[in-house]
């Protein structure tokens, strides 16, 4: 079983400082929702975002979208050998039911995230697919007690993904942290949670590329590609 | 050098049969463009699409978007060892300049595709990044003369991606075809272009997952991950 955490993900509702900005008010009117019900998106709120701190690390819900599509569509997830969580830049933890079929369409995904931030779970009734709780990574780890936590960062020690996986795969409950943002690095409080920080390329890889490669190497380390090919249909 | 073709991609402008449909007219009004300038999108034109043939294989520009992000962001592309083409369901070939930085945001990507279908190249002036030509796969291959063409399809022979790559990597100009649609299979005229058709999982993998895994295995086959880690920054 592999646990993947997309950490400090650039996914949040529009912060109060921006509610009065013209671009936010226009967006709010068009969507017929109040600004606090809308997801912050750099492509829409770029100008407004200059008002907030740390703006380069925020407003990129597309990263979470692509990472989740890569993770949930993987054979590893179909075999129920993957657990995926999103930790946001504002310390929310989203728990994702492995049977979730996320919308592939970005606009629909944003609609789903708006519902999630408003109601803290999706769907309203029946089996919960997505669940949102205000929680730090530290609180999360004190509950889940991972045996080993590895984080990917260009600031880490050089190592290939294959080498990383050969070390963590035999462990009982290994957890891998991937950054859910486009610029800069992990906060000190996130980096401190990792037993090891590893850099797998000379340049920063996109979060979805890292996700896909990590999951694939993990599948290979347990011979899943061959096993699934020989599975009776 | 690896050549990747996303084939029969579900990427087209709204076909004439749908221009009079209420949902298309609403969309056209909102976007202030005529329907023929807009990209067909199942999430917007679902009801209208019942009017057209083969509708399950059409209206999924998100697949092309995500595949191109995976391909263009890969270390293989950064090393200029990857060529990517999109062949659409209506026999257009899009040639992608490897230096292209595609918009990550879906709405902006759609805007770019609208420009491309209207002007047949993007940008208007300066170095061409995307170029669109009406051309069948057969015409394309008679020009590019690939040494070997391999296609992925659940209808193919069972083989792992690693085995596939070990066979094609030593070749001079190998080409891999991945389907750019969500349901059904390649047309007979596409399948006929392949020297070999291979199935790499018991279920259909998403096009972006296949893309990412293929490129990564190809990188590994030429020791790129290790080489790049030891590259001076």
Distance CA B146, CA B7 (A): 15
Q: What is the pLDDT of residues B40-82, one digit of tens each?
A: 999 999 889 988 888 889 999 999 999 999 999 999 999 999 9
CA distance B205 to chain A (A): 7
Token representation of residue A162: 């294959």
Inform me whether the C-beta atom of residue B226 falls under 8 Å from chain A C-beta atoms. Answer: yes
> Both B76 and B191 in a single domain?
yes
The whole-chain average pLDDT of chain B stands at 96
Instruction: Check A201 against B228: CB less than 8 A apart.
Output: yes
Q: How many domains does chain B have?
A: 2
pLDDT surpassing 90 at residue B25: yes
> Both A35 and A86 in a single domain?
no
Residue A79, helix vs strand vs coil: coil
Range of the domain at A51: 16-56
> Both B143 and B29 in a single domain?
no
What is the secondary structure of A34-75 as a DSSP string? Answer: -GGGSB--HHHHTTGGGGSTTGGGSS-HHHHHHHHHHHHTSH
ipTM value > 0.90: yes
Q: What is the 3-state secondary structure (H, E, C) of A138-202?
A: HHHHHHHCCCEEEEEEEEEEECCHHHHHHHHCCCCCEEEEEECCCCCCCCHHHHCCCCEEEECCC
pLDDT surpassing 90 at residue B106: yes
Residue A9, helix vs strand vs coil: strand
Name every chain B residue with its beta carbon within 8 A of the beta carbon of A208. Answer: 69-70, 212
The whole-chain average pLDDT of chain A stands at 96
> Both B155 and B46 in a single domain?
no
Structural contact between residues A173 and A145, judged by C-beta atoms closer than 8 angstroms:
yes
> Both B208 and B93 in a single domain?
yes
Q: What is the pLDDT of residues B125-181, one digit of tens each?
A: 999 999 999 999 999 999 999 999 999 999 999 999 999 999 999 999 899 999 999
> Both B162 and B47 in a single domain?
no
Beta-carbon pairs below 8 A across chains A and B = 111
The CATH number of the domain where B109 resides is what?
3.40.1280.10
Q: Closest to B213 (Cβ–Cβ): which among A60, A216, A228?
A: A216
Inform me whether the C-beta atom of residue B51 falls under 8 Å from chain A C-beta atoms. Answer: no
> Both A76 and A141 in a single domain?
yes
Inform me whether the C-beta atom of residue A218 falls under 8 Å from chain B C-beta atoms. Answer: no
pLDDT surpassing 90 at residue A199: yes
CA distance B206 to chain A (A): 7
> Both A168 and A120 in a single domain?
yes
> Both B136 and B225 in a single domain?
yes
Cα distances (angstroms) measured from residue B176 to each of B83, B151, B193, B205, B218 = 10, 6, 11, 15, 11
> Both B99 and B199 in a single domain?
yes
> Both A71 and A47 in a single domain?
no
> Both B39 and B114 in a single domain?
no
CA distance B19 to chain A (A): 22
CB atoms under 10 Å from CB of A169, counted, come to 14
Confidence class for position A232, pLDDT limits 50, 70, 90: low
Q: What is the pLDDT of residue A233?
A: 54
B176 Cβ partners below 8 Å, 6+ apart? Answer: B2, B3, B4, B5, B149, B150, B151, B152, B168, B214
pLDDT surpassing 60 at residue A114: yes
Name every chain A residue with its beta carbon within 8 A of the beta carbon of B203. Answer: 75, 78, 228
- Residue B175, classified by CB atoms within 10 Å of its CB into exposed (0-12), middle (13-18) or buried (19+), is buried
Distance CA A218, CA A198 (A): 16
């Amino acid at each position: 079983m592999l646990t993947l955490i997309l950490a400090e993900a650039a996914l949040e509702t529009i912060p109060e400082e921006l509610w009065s900005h013209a671009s936010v008010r226009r967006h709010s009117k068009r969507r017929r929702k109040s600004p606090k019900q809308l997801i912050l998106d750099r492509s829409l709120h770029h100008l407004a975002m200059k008002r907030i701190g740390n703006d380069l690390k925020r407003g990129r819900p597309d990263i979470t979208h692509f990472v989740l599509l890569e993770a949930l569509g993987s054979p590893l997830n179909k075999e129920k050998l993957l657990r995926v969580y999103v930790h946001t830049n504002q310390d929310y933890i989203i728990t994702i039911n492995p049977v979730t079929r996320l919308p592939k369409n970005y606009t629909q995904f944003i609609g789903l995230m708006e519902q999630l931030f408003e109601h803290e779970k999706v769907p309203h009734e029946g089996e919960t697919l997505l669940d949102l709780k205000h929680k730090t990574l530290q609180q999360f780890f004190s509950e889940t007690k991972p045996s080993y936590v590895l984080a990917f960062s260009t600031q880490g020690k050089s190592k290939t993904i294959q080498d990383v996986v050969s070390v963590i795969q035999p462990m009982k409950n290994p957890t891998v942290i991937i950054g859910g943002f486009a610029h800069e690095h992990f906060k000190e409080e996130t980096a401190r949670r990792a037993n090891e920080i590893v850099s797998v390329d000379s340049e920063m890889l996109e979060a979805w590329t890292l996700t896909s490669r990590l999951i694939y190497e993990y599948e290979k380390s347990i011979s899943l590609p061959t096993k699934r090919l020989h599975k009776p249909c």
